Chains A and B, each alone.
Chain A
Amino acid sequence: MAEQLSQKQNFLKGIIKDNPVFVMLLGMCPTLGVTSTAYNGLGMGIATMFVLLMSNIVVSLVKSQIPGKVRIPAFIIVIASFVTIVEMVLEAFIPFLYEQLGIFIPLIVVNCLILGRAEAFASKNNLISSIVDALGMGIGFTIALTVLGASREILGSGSLFDFKMVPEDASTLILFILPPGAFIALAYLSVVFNKVSTKIN
Chain B
Amino acid sequence: MEYVVILIAAVFVNNIVLSQFLGICPFLGVSSKVSTSVGMSGAVLFVMTIATLVTYLLYQFVLVPTGLDYLRTITFILVIASLVQMVEIILKKVSPALYQALGVFLPLITTNCAVLGVAILALGLENGSLLKAVFFAIANSIGFALALILFASIREQLELADLPEGMKGVPINLLVAGLLSLAFLGFTGLV
Q: Which A residues are within 8 Å of any B CB, using their own CB?
A: 25-26, 28-33, 72-73, 76-77, 80-81, 83-84, 87-88, 103, 106-107, 109-112, 115, 175, 178-184, 186-188, 190-191, 194-195
Contact = CB atoms under 8 A, between A and B. Distances in A.
Contact of B18 (A26, A84, A88, A179): A179
Contacts of A190: 170-171, 174
Contacts of B179: 180
Contact of A184 (B18, B25, B178): B178
Nearest to B24: A28
Contacts of A179: 18-21, 181, 185
B28 A28 contact: yes
Given A28-B21, A184-B174, A187-B175, 10 more contacts: A25-B28, A25-B29, A28-B25, A29-B113, A76-B81, A109-B116, A110-B77, A178-B185, A183-B174, A187-B171
A72 B110 contact: yes
Contacts of A80: 73-74, 77-78
Given A72-B110, A180-B182, A187 B172 contact: yes
Contacts of B173: 187
B185 A180 contact: yes
Nearest to A195: B166
* Top 4 A-B pairs, shortest CB-CB distance: A183-B178, A33-B21, A187-B174, A184-B178
B166 A76 contact: no
A124 B108 CA distance: 20
5 contacts: A28-B24, A84-B73, A103-B121, A175-B182, A182-B178
A110 B28 CA distance: 16
Interface of B: 18-25, 28-29, 70-74, 77-78, 81-82, 107-108, 110-113, 116-117, 120-121, 166-167, 170-175, 177-179, 181-182, 185
A110 B171 contact: no
Given A180-B178, A180-B179, A190-B174, A110 B78 contact: no
B22 A106 contact: no
B116 to A, nearest CB: 5
Nearest to A84: B73
A106 B25 contact: no
A109 B81 CA distance: 12
B170 A110 contact: no
A131 to B, nearest CB: 23
Contacts of A81: 74
Contacts of B121: 103
Q: Which of A107, A109, A110 has the most CB of B within 10 A?
A: A110
Given A83-B73, A103-B121, A186 B174 contact: yes
B96 to A, nearest CB: 21
Contacts of A112: 25, 108, 111
B28 to A, nearest CB: 6
